[in-house]
Amino acid sequence: MSLFGFGKKDKQASGGPVGEARLGDGSQVTIAQRVDCIGDSCPRPQLMTKKALNTAQAADVIEVLVDNPSSMEAIPPMLNGLGATHLETKKGDHCWEIYIRKD
């Protein structure tokens, strides 16, 4: 029943660090927000990412979880116009983990 977001709880975590991640270059980042878009199709992951960036502070790192290939490809290019930098996209067990830093 999660088609188009019906029956879902708000899956955006914020309000303090929600975890840490090690990037491919070996650097460790603290994740300020996690946006779980597992099961969501376009354009919801892009809209949720934009919403998270609007509430983030400068230098905050946001982790976006997507399992939709078109969302994985669409999110990094849209960041230039939103004042954010794509740090890395990692393939997880069941999804892609996109790491974004607000400028």
Mean pLDDT (the chain, rounded) = 89
Range of the domain at 15: 3-102
Q: Cα(69)–Cα(72) distance, rounded to whole angstroms? A: 5
Give the CATH number, domain containing residue 21. 3.30.110.40
Q: Model confidence at 4, in pLDDT bands (50, 70, 90)?
A: very low
Number of domains in the chain: 1
CA-CA-CA-CA dihedral for 9, 45, 35, 97, to nearest 10: 130
> Catalytic: 37?
no
Catalytic residue selected from 18, 21, 42, 82: 42
Evaluate if residue 31 carries a pLDDT over 70: yes
For the chain, what is the radius of gyration of the CA atoms? 13
- 33-79 pLDDT, tens digit per residue, is 999 999 999 999 999 999 999 999 999 999 999 999 999 999 999 99
